[in-house]
Amino acid sequence: MKPYRFIISGGGTGGHIYPAISIANELRKRYPDCAILFVGAADRMEMEKVPAAGYEIKGLWISGIQRSLSLKNLMFPFKVIKSIRDSYKILKEFKPDVAIGTGGYASGPLLYAAHKKGIPTLIQEQNSYPGITNKLLSKKVDKVCVASDGLDRFFPASKITLTGNPVRQDLLNLQNLRSEAVAEMNLDPERKTLLVLGGSLGARRINQLIDEHLDVLKNDVQIIWQCGKFYFETYKNKAQDGVQVHAFLNRMDYAYAAADFIISRAGASSISELAIVGKPVIFIPSPHVAEDHQRKNAEAVVKKDAALMITENQLEEQFLSTWNTLIHDHALQEKLSTNFKKLALPKATEHIVDLIESFLHAS
């Protein structure tokens, strides 16, 4: 039997790229001789990240519509037409058994063309409020994998499977790692630890918040502050006894294992990881994300009594009171942890690939 061939499209942000790479890794694990080709937007970060993960990628001339009036918007119809034509050409040459999309501009033309050619298609939606590409594609594709309840408001219910988002497998046994993590990160085992996460690039408003309230926070906890590479030069001098400042954390499993409390943005992948981690979290969603995804993601968790949320425009009036409530209310801490763990779907990647396999066995 000839080796299986899979084509995967997802990009624009890490939230689309890393799930796509996780799916590819699981496919390669199950079918070591399979062929995998990625398709991305020619000028986006997937053109760098995917080859770094060991996979070939082809780029399409595609981008989104600008929110403001822009000459670039006049080019959008031409980009779509050319990208669909190029997608047909790629599909004809590569001859995939299944086409998989994880969101982003390029997945629209590719999955549309795959559907038209009769190739089995599957999309994976990371957010609790889907992006426009996946909303449109859901009417065409065969299966839709989602990470939270209630998406039958946007997608055909008959196509939906709740799988969760792919997450790092090194997060599954954190309870056995705490002592090692505390020692490796030079933390005081007798003190509680706050982990602050703003993403690899950093989050300006979260960094300002921690800087502003550092004296109050360090009285309650020791702090692992991941400020991001863009802000490290600004905040590295804030490191002191009980306060660590990092541009990037290479061992997220250690950071999560050592943490007692977490302040974080609310990207879909982060939420999926934090559900497995199961620590009390204060979400501060980024207001600069398309379609306000992060606020909607955080709200979906807050509605389950599984986390707290403060929007950026409420930080001045709400942060200290929220923090003081959380740090002193042990029943609240326990409730948030317990409820967040209930939302965890640690075998998401395996479940998604099981669905992809169902296409192979049906053909």
CA 38 to chain centre: 18
Dihedral-angle region of residue 203 (phi above 0 means left; psi in -120 to 50 means alpha; beta otherwise): beta
What separation in angstroms does the CA of 7 have from each of 39, 58, 303, 334?
A: 7, 10, 36, 43
Class of domain 169-342 as given by CATH: alpha beta
CA 232 to chain centre: 23
Give binding residues for UDP-N-acetyl-alpha-D-glucosamine as ranges: 13-15, 127, 168, 200, 294
Q: Helix 107-116 to helix 71-94 angle, to the nearest 10 degrees?
A: 50
pLDDT in tens, 230-258: 999 999 999 999 999 999 898 999 999 99
Q: Are 5 and 35 in contact (CB under 8 A)?
A: yes
> At residue 161, what are phi and psi to the nearest 5 degrees?
-130, 130
Domain boundaries, the chain: 5-167+346-362, 169-342
Neighbours of 78 (CB within 10 A): 10
Give binding residues as ranges: 13-15, 127, 168, 200, 294
Q: Are 142 and 158 in contact (CB under 8 A)?
A: no
Nearest C-alpha neighbor of 134 from the set 146, 125, 147, 122: 125
Could you read off the pLDDT tens digit of each residue along the chain, which spans 363 residues? 789 999 999 887 778 898 999 999 999 999 999 999 999 988 888 999 999 999 999 999 876 655 555 666 666 667 788 889 999 999 999 999 999 999 888 899 999 999 999 999 999 999 988 988 899 999 999 999 999 889 999 999 999 999 999 988 788 888 889 999 999 999 999 999 999 998 766 789 999 999 999 999 999 999 999 999 899 999 999 999 999 999 989 899 999 999 999 999 999 989 999 999 999 999 999 998 877 889 999 999 999 999 999 999 999 999 999 999 999 999 999 999 999 999 999 999 999 999 999 999 875
Q: Which residues are bridge partners to 58 per DSSP? A: 39
Q: Virtual CA dihedral for 44, 46, 51, 53, nearest 10 degrees? A: 150
What are the tokens at 162? 């709740």
Query: Angle at the Cα of 138 (from 123 to 72), degrees rounded to 5?
Result: 90
Close Cβ partners of 84 (under 8 Å, ≥ 6 residues apart):
109, 112, 113
Nearest C-alpha neighbor of 263 from the set 216, 305, 317, 203: 203
Domain 5-167+346-362, CATH: 3.40.50.2000
Tokens 């550092």 sit on residue:
214
Q: Are 58 and 88 in contact (CB under 8 A)?
A: no
How far, in Å, CA of 16 to CA of 61, rounded? 18
- pLDDT for 288 equals 85
One-letter identity of residue 131: G
> At residue 130, what are phi and psi to the nearest 5 degrees?
-70, 155
pLDDT in tens, 148-179: 889 999 999 999 999 999 988 788 888 889 99
- pLDDT for 160 equals 97
β strands within 93-203, DSSP E: 98-101, 121-125, 143-146, 160-162, 193-197
- pLDDT for 173 equals 83
- Confidence (pTM): 0.86
Q: Which residues are bridge partners to 195 per DSSP? A: 224, 262
- pLDDT for 294 equals 93
How far, in Å, CA of 252 to CA of 318, rounded? 28
Dihedral-angle region of residue 305 (phi above 0 means left; psi in -120 to 50 means alpha; beta otherwise): left
Close Cβ partners of 122 (under 8 Å, ≥ 6 residues apart):
98, 99, 100, 101, 141, 142, 143, 144, 145, 352, 355, 356, 359
